[in-house]
Amino acid sequence: MIDGDRKILIDTGMGNKQDAKFFSHYYPHDTVSIADALQKLNFTVEEITDVLLTHLHFDHVGGAISKNKDQYLPTFPNATYWISEPQWNLALHPNKREKASFLSENILPIEASRQLKLISIPLFASKTQLQEIHFSPNISCYVVNGHTQGMLIPKININNQSLVYMADLLPSVGHIPLPYVMGYDMQPLITLEEKEIFLNEAVKNNFTLFFEHDAQNECCQLAITEKGIRASKVFKLPNKLA
């Protein structure tokens, strides 16, 4: 996302630091390096000014740090790495269930690089709306806690339309029905509440949803049906928003 003079990258995938056995557990598909993916868009890793990380689970942050011989270094040498403060604190002191998702080689080098910026999250309590914080002129972020504490869900203004990067609040189209909550969620009942609030707002405001974990469906819009809120249109991003 280019926002003014900033080139902002949201999440970085699993990266390629781990061995083949590690990746065999997760079945990555159509995998390319971040550098190659950016090159297709005529960008380089050096041009990225900001890396906005929704959370620090390895499949979202792995590409933020690269291994060069025995050194772990930021993939984006000129970027500021943005992480919510609650998520950072959790990653440093994880609960026993979530500990395996936070890999030290993905996290500690960010701090050591001095490129880390923490996003403070003010106290907020509401049963009817999600907390929303400002990030840049055309990006705000919902703050959700069901999947993991302090996860950020970026909402991007593109040509006066709202594109929402769903991270792990709604990892796929299949997770749109309210009861369909991931086993990976730390607080599934909180996820359920957050999903319901978000889906109602998304329908009301005709949001476009972008899925990070759906191998078949890239984007969708929503509609109210007799079975509840469901995907009404499924499409690829370039065909809908330019």
pLDDT tens sequence across 68-97: 888 999 999 999 999 999 999 999 999 999
**Cα–Cα distance for residue pair 80/239, rounded to 1 Å:** 31
Confidence of residue 161 (pLDDT cuts 50, 70, 90): very high
158 beta partners:
161
Give yes or no: residues 7 and 106 share one domain: yes
pLDDT for position 21:
73
Going by their DSSP bridges, the two strands 161-165 and 208-210 should be labelled as parallel
Which of 104, 120, 136 is where one domain is finished? 120
Domain assignment present for residue 140? The answer is: no
- Does position 182 have pLDDT exceeding 50, yes or no? yes
Check whether residue 2 and residue 84 sit in a common domain.
yes
Q: Does 154 lie in the same domain as 95?
A: no
pLDDT of 127: 87
Same-domain pairing of 159 and 66: no
Give me 45's structure tokens. 């890793």
Neighbouring CB atoms inside 10 A of 28's CB total 12
Residue 221, pLDDT above cutoff 80: yes
Q: What is the mean pLDDT of residues 226-235?
A: 95
Question: Considering 86, 120, 154, which residue would you say is the last residue of a domain?
Answer: 120
Residues 88 and 53 in one domain: yes
Its domain, for residue 237, covers 146-242
Is residue 47 in some structural domain?
Answer: yes
Nearest to 230 by CA among 164, 156, 174: 174
Q: Are residues 4 and 49 in the same domain?
A: yes
In a domain? residue 52: yes
One domain, residues 165 and 233: yes
Task: Tell me what the mean pLDDT of segment 173-191 comes to.
Answer: 96
Q: How many domains, in total, are found in the chain?
A: 2
For position 28, which CATH number holds? 3.60.15.10
- Specify the range with the lowest mean pLDDT, choosing from 32-36, 61-65, 210-214: 32-36
Same domain for 15 and 99, yes or no, is yes
Q: Which residues contact 73 (CB under 8 A, 6 or more apart)?
A: 65, 66, 67, 109, 113
Q: Determine, yes or no, domain membership for 136.
A: no
Which pLDDT score, from 0 to 100, does residue 242 have?
44
Helix, strand, or coil here: 64?
helix
Q: Are residues 39 and 153 in the same domain?
A: no
What's residue 237's pLDDT? 84
Secondary element (H or E) of residue 190: helix 188-205
| CA-based nearest residue to 78, from 113, 29, 103 | 113
pLDDT band at 29 (very low <50, low <70, confident <90, very high): low
For residue 213, pLDDT beyond 80: yes
Tell me what pLDDT residue 96 has.
95
Element (H, E) at 25: none
Backbone angles phi, psi at 40, to 5 degrees: -65, -25
Q: What is the pTM of this model?
A: 0.93
User: At 72, is the secondary structure helix, strand, or coil?
Assistant: strand
For residues 129 and 186, give the distance between their C-alpha atoms in angstroms, rounded to a whole number.
Answer: 20
Considering the domain architecture, whether residues 6 and 89 belong to the same structural domain is answered as: yes
**Cβ burial, residue 184 (10 Å; 0-12/13-18/19+):** middle
Residue 24 counted as domain residue: yes
Interval 95-153: pLDDT, tens: 999 999 999 999 999 999 999 999 999 999 898 999 999 999 999 999 999 999 999 99
Q: What contacts 94, CB < 8 A, 6 or more positions away?
A: 101, 102
112: in domain: yes
Residues 107 and 171 grouped into a single domain: no
Residue type, 132: E
